[in-house]
Amino acid sequence: MHAEIVRLSLHHVDIKIVSGGRMHVLQWRRNLLWDEVLLDGSRQAASHGLWGRENVYGLVFGCDLDGSGGDQVMLLIDPGVSYSSWSGSEQRLKGVRLEGKDGPLVSYGTLDPKSLEKPATFSDWMNKTMGIEWGMGPGRPN
Protein backbone atom coordinates (compact mmCIF):
# COMPACT_ATOMS: atom_id res chain seq x y z
CA MET A 1 0.00 0.00 0.00
CA HIS A 2 1.30 3.45 -0.95
CA ALA A 3 -0.15 6.89 -0.12
CA GLU A 4 0.58 10.47 -1.11
CA ILE A 5 -0.94 13.82 -0.05
CA VAL A 6 -2.41 15.50 -3.12
CA ARG A 7 -4.01 18.59 -1.54
CA LEU A 8 -3.58 20.11 1.91
CA SER A 9 -5.33 23.24 3.16
CA LEU A 10 -7.10 24.45 6.29
CA HIS A 11 -10.40 22.73 5.45
CA HIS A 12 -9.41 20.05 2.91
CA VAL A 13 -7.09 17.06 2.80
CA ASP A 14 -6.95 14.78 -0.24
CA ILE A 15 -4.80 11.63 -0.12
CA LYS A 16 -4.20 9.27 -3.04
CA ILE A 17 -3.91 5.64 -1.92
CA VAL A 18 -2.76 2.79 -4.17
CA SER A 19 -3.62 -0.65 -2.83
CA GLY A 20 -3.54 -3.91 -4.73
CA GLY A 21 -3.28 -2.20 -8.12
CA ARG A 22 -6.32 0.03 -7.43
CA MET A 23 -6.27 3.76 -6.69
CA HIS A 24 -8.49 5.28 -4.00
CA VAL A 25 -9.06 8.89 -2.95
CA LEU A 26 -9.36 9.57 0.77
CA GLN A 27 -10.75 13.01 1.59
CA TRP A 28 -11.19 14.91 4.86
CA ARG A 29 -13.46 17.96 4.87
CA ARG A 30 -14.06 20.51 7.62
CA ASN A 31 -17.40 22.27 7.45
CA LEU A 32 -18.85 24.79 9.88
CA LEU A 33 -20.56 22.27 12.17
CA TRP A 34 -19.11 18.92 11.11
CA ASP A 35 -16.07 17.12 9.70
CA GLU A 36 -16.38 14.23 7.30
CA VAL A 37 -14.14 11.56 5.81
CA LEU A 38 -14.89 10.35 2.28
CA LEU A 39 -13.43 7.36 0.49
CA ASP A 40 -13.89 7.39 -3.28
CA GLY A 41 -16.68 9.95 -2.83
CA SER A 42 -18.67 7.97 -0.23
CA ARG A 43 -18.93 9.23 3.34
CA GLN A 44 -17.18 6.85 5.72
CA ALA A 45 -17.24 8.86 8.95
CA ALA A 46 -18.50 12.17 10.33
CA SER A 47 -17.93 14.18 13.48
CA HIS A 48 -20.32 16.92 14.62
CA GLY A 49 -20.07 19.86 17.02
CA LEU A 50 -18.43 23.23 17.47
CA TRP A 51 -15.45 22.01 19.54
CA GLY A 52 -13.84 18.69 20.33
CA ARG A 53 -14.58 16.91 17.07
CA GLU A 54 -13.04 13.51 16.38
CA ASN A 55 -9.45 13.59 15.07
CA VAL A 56 -8.80 9.84 14.61
CA TYR A 57 -10.65 7.75 12.02
CA GLY A 58 -10.33 4.03 11.26
CA LEU A 59 -11.00 2.76 7.72
CA VAL A 60 -10.84 -0.57 5.87
CA PHE A 61 -10.03 -0.88 2.13
CA GLY A 62 -11.20 -3.80 0.04
CA CYS A 63 -13.16 -5.79 2.62
CA ASP A 64 -15.69 -8.43 1.59
CA LEU A 65 -19.44 -7.86 1.87
CA ASP A 66 -19.45 -9.66 5.22
CA GLY A 67 -16.72 -7.29 6.50
CA SER A 68 -13.80 -9.72 6.46
CA GLY A 69 -10.38 -9.08 4.92
CA GLY A 70 -9.12 -5.81 3.54
CA ASP A 71 -6.40 -3.35 4.55
CA GLN A 72 -6.93 -1.37 7.74
CA VAL A 73 -5.69 2.21 8.01
CA MET A 74 -5.93 4.98 10.58
CA LEU A 75 -6.27 8.66 9.63
CA LEU A 76 -5.15 11.21 12.22
CA ILE A 77 -5.77 14.95 11.84
CA ASP A 78 -4.30 17.82 13.90
CA PRO A 79 -6.85 20.53 12.99
CA GLY A 80 -4.86 23.44 14.45
CA VAL A 81 -3.75 26.24 12.13
CA SER A 82 -0.24 26.32 10.71
CA TYR A 83 0.97 29.38 8.82
CA SER A 84 3.41 28.70 6.00
CA SER A 85 4.23 32.35 5.31
CA TRP A 86 4.97 35.39 7.47
CA SER A 87 1.89 37.23 6.13
CA GLY A 88 -0.45 34.44 7.25
CA SER A 89 -1.94 34.19 3.78
CA GLU A 90 -1.26 30.44 3.51
CA GLN A 91 -3.04 28.55 6.27
CA ARG A 92 -2.89 24.78 6.59
CA LEU A 93 -3.66 22.08 9.09
CA LYS A 94 -0.90 21.50 11.62
CA GLY A 95 -0.64 17.79 10.90
CA VAL A 96 -1.94 14.81 8.93
CA ARG A 97 -0.96 11.15 9.24
CA LEU A 98 -2.22 8.02 7.50
CA GLU A 99 -0.98 4.88 9.18
CA GLY A 100 -1.28 1.24 8.13
CA LYS A 101 -0.44 -1.96 10.00
CA ASP A 102 3.25 -1.67 9.08
CA GLY A 103 3.67 2.00 10.03
CA PRO A 104 3.02 5.45 8.56
CA LEU A 105 2.05 5.59 4.89
CA VAL A 106 2.19 9.38 4.73
CA SER A 107 2.63 12.10 7.37
CA TYR A 108 2.91 15.87 7.50
CA GLY A 109 3.58 18.57 10.11
CA THR A 110 3.08 17.85 13.80
CA LEU A 111 2.12 14.23 13.11
CA ASP A 112 5.29 13.50 11.14
CA PRO A 113 7.68 11.33 13.23
CA LYS A 114 10.56 13.58 12.09
CA SER A 115 8.93 16.54 13.87
CA LEU A 116 9.66 14.84 17.21
CA GLU A 117 13.41 14.68 16.54
CA LYS A 118 15.40 17.31 18.44
CA PRO A 119 17.73 19.53 16.36
CA ALA A 120 21.44 18.84 16.84
CA THR A 121 22.63 22.45 16.42
CA PHE A 122 21.28 25.98 16.72
CA SER A 123 21.31 26.27 12.93
CA ASP A 124 19.18 23.13 12.66
CA TRP A 125 16.75 24.56 15.24
CA MET A 126 16.44 27.84 13.29
CA ASN A 127 15.79 25.92 10.09
CA LYS A 128 13.18 23.67 11.73
CA THR A 129 11.25 26.35 13.63
CA MET A 130 11.52 29.35 11.30
CA GLY A 131 12.71 27.98 7.99
CA ILE A 132 15.87 30.10 8.15
CA GLU A 133 19.01 28.56 6.65
CA TRP A 134 22.44 30.09 6.98
CA GLY A 135 26.07 29.20 7.25
CA MET A 136 28.29 26.89 5.34
CA GLY A 137 26.56 23.79 4.18
CA PRO A 138 26.46 21.35 1.31
CA GLY A 139 25.65 23.04 -1.95
CA ARG A 140 26.03 26.58 -0.57
CA PRO A 141 28.52 29.09 -1.96
CA ASN A 142 31.40 30.24 0.25
Confidence of residue 87 (pLDDT cuts 50, 70, 90): low
Give the other-Cβ count within 10 Å of 108's Cβ: 20
Mean pLDDT lowest for which of 26-30, 83-87, 94-98, 126-130?
Answer: 83-87
Provide mean pLDDT across the span 41-52: 88
At residue 25, the pLDDT reads 94
pLDDT for 129 beyond 80: no
Q: Is 83 exposed, middle or buried (0-12, 13-18, 19+ CB in 10 A)?
A: exposed
Confidence of residue 116 (pLDDT cuts 50, 70, 90): low
| Alpha carbon distance, N-terminus to C-terminus of the chain | 44
Q: Distance (Å, rounded) from C-alpha 115 to C-alpha 129?
A: 10
Find residue 34's DSSP bridge partners.
48
Q: Is 86 helix (H, G, I), strand (E, B) or coil?
A: coil
Mean pLDDT lowest for which of 5-9, 23-27, 64-68?
Answer: 64-68
Strands of the chain (E only): list them.
Answer: 2-8, 12-19, 22-30, 34-39, 42-48, 56-61, 71-83, 91-100, 103-109
Chain mean pLDDT for the chain: 83
For the entire predicted model, the pTM comes to: 0.74
Find residue 30's DSSP bridge partners.
35
Q: Distance (Å, rounded) from C-alpha 58 to C-alpha 113?
A: 20
At residue 142, the pLDDT reads 44
Q: Which CATH number fits domain 2-111: 1.10.260.40, 3.40.1000.10, 2.40.420.20, 2.40.128.180?
A: 2.40.128.180
**Considering only CA atoms, which of 74, 73, 82 is closest in space to residue 110?**
82
